[in-house]
Amino acid sequence: MNHTTALGLLTLLLVLSFPSEPASAAPAEAETRPNVIVIFTDDQGYQDVGCFGSPDIKTPRLDRMAKEGRRFTDFYVGAAVCSASRVALLTGCYPQRVGITGVLMPKAKIGINPDELTLAEVFKQRGYATAVVGKWHLGHRPKFLPTRHGFDEYFGLPYSNDMWPLNKRRKHPPLPLIDGEKTIEENPDQSQLVRRYTERAVDFIERNQKRPFFLYLPHTMPHVPLHVSEKFKDTSPRGLYGDVIQEIDWSVGQILDTVKRCGLDEKTLVLFTSDNGPWLIYGREHAGSALPLREGKGTTFEGGFREPCIMWWPGTIPADTKCSEMAATIDLLPTMAKLLGVELPKDRILDGRDIMPLMTGQPDAKSPHEAYAFYKGRHLQAVRSGQWKLHFPHDYHKVTASGKKGKRTRGERAKIGLSLFDLANDVGETKNVADEHPDVVARLKKLADRFRDDLGDTATKREGKNVRPPGRVGT
């Protein structure tokens, strides 16, 4: 054996004797995994961002985020109320499928089912650090808290900020501020919540900048009662509501600045949207604007379900672009799962679809949804397909004279009959064109029947038809 051969054999033996550890591939593998931050406000109107048309609320950081990213103009939530919308975001399912279709109160004994696969649990399968900072509202009992559903950390309120002893309409227990699973304060100073959430979120990013992370930042505001810090008080001509949105805009800026300071901007997807439309009954200074959309929170009109949405991921999402294809919060979970190579369970239906082609602006990319369902509770009230939206006869709450100085006005009950709207030319849902397009009405009725067969419809109960049993809510 010559010297060269012996040296080669020795080298081979050394390589075989010291195989590479699986962990050695982790850092390189982690480089390809994007960090993800979802900023989710509460009761914000479609128009309440500068780049979505607000004439009197200044949002320079959100506007810059849109300039560097992509605006989604036809972006929907899963419901026009808090808990149902949040469960849709985190499970990729219509709320009717998972059994939380309304608002959970402090005395509620139910919450998100432990068998659900949450967005956080998808990220945990790839070794992500996970945290939620802000409003949870999917069950406040220990087994329903975020730390039992894929989140490493939790800091925030377990439900809405009006569910506290000062609420004159209902008797509520003290409002808890929770850290992990422990209540650390009762009835916290709400004027400091945006600041405290932001500081906690920034700290989480800084602590996890060397590993992939998922941060869910569901702000308590601008849900009433509105509170703002002294720094932002009286800064907007829109009044207190405008002040609150401008503080949230500051918070978005703090998040983006931290991402850039840590050198993570090309590795981080940031998504900004809200849980449902504005609560119009409190008047202009205490409520948002859904213009040019119709109605607001609690309705199945566009003002209740369609939200401003901005996605930012430098180098991946094209800058200063707009997507007018239909997309939704339910799409985030399957999109992230596919991006990370996480296999989704085969024993359940997910309603969301992969929207990465829309996010990255691929030529000719279309919405993956043939149709989208608009439920109120368990009643299917409308369905959209392409530019067309069909409303079935239903009642809704119409504000006729909003309250002054934050006082609530109930308005009146209104009714809408079978109505077809062309959203491409009438986004405000003002002109019923059903008689002009009977073929479209017939097609959307068939699509609605598919939703009824799958998710049920309480309206069919009066007709003696079977109704799908409640979804898999946790008890």
> Residues with catalytic annotation?
82, 137
Residue-wise over 104-113: b if at least 16 C-beta within 10 A, else e? Answer: bebebebbbb
CA dist 323 and 360 (Å) reads 10
Residue with tokens 């039992």, as numbered in its chain? 148
CA dihedral sign of residues 162, 163, 166, 170? positive
CA dist 232 and 237 (Å) reads 12
| Structure token pair of residue 40 | 């989710």
CA-wise closest residue to 40 among 199, 270, 238: 270
Query: C-alpha angle with apex 143: 336 to 353, nearest 5 degrees?
Result: 20
Rounded to whole angstroms, what are the CA distances from 390 to 31, 95, 393, 396, 448?
45, 20, 10, 15, 9
Residue 124 near residue 212 (C-beta atoms within 8 A): no
CA dihedral sign of residues 91, 93, 95, 99? negative
| Structure token pair of residue 373 | 């369902």
- Burial class of 189 by CB neighbour count within 10 A (0 to 12, 13 to 18, 19+): exposed
